[in-house]
């Protein structure tokens, strides 16, 4: 019973503090090779991919001004795979998949569970959003 109460409290509460600085470090380590240091989709491996990496600074602008939180979380943690180079993205899946034990509140107010590294990476991605696409 206590376990269920603890789980219900975890899901009902917002995520613990998100750290965009940790997310930036994770981005440079795991994402910049394809998406580029500026997150514009121009990383050194972009030319080798079947599907060009998206400009991550325009996710909100390309989605009516709203950051597509659930889609981004699921793309990173592997629940919504994108096969762009012969295998699902992310190529670092084991690192980001982890245990889905951290809730983030979506725009609808519904929590979505993911891992701590994804929470921090998403915080970074949200911090670099432009208001209008190039």
pLDDT tens-place string over residues 47-82: 888 888 999 999 999 999 999 999 999 888 888 877
Tokens 């325009």 found at: 58
- Over residues 82-90, the mean pLDDT reads 60
pTM for this prediction? 0.80
pLDDT confidence band for 94 (50 / 70 / 90): low
Nearest to 60 by CA among 116, 125, 117: 125
Question: Max alpha carbon distance in the chain (Å)?
Answer: 53
């Amino acid at each position: 019973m206590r376990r269920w109460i603890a789980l219900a409290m975890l899901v009902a509460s917002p995520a613990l503090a998100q750290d965009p600085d940790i997310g930036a470090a994770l981005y440079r380590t795991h994402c910049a090779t394809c998406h580029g240091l500026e997150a514009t989709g121009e990383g050194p491996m972009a030319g080798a991919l079947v599907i060009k990496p998206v400009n991550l600074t325009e996710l909100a602008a390309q989605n009516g001004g709203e950051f597509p939180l659930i889609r981004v979380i699921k793309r990173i943690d592997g629940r919504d795979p994108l096969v762009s180079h012969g295998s699902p993205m992310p190529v670092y899946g084991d690192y980001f998949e982890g245990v889905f034990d951290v809730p983030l509140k979506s725009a609808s107010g519904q929590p979505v569970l993911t891992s701590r590294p994804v929470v921090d990476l998403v915080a970074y991605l949200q911090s670099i959003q432009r208001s209008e696409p190039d």
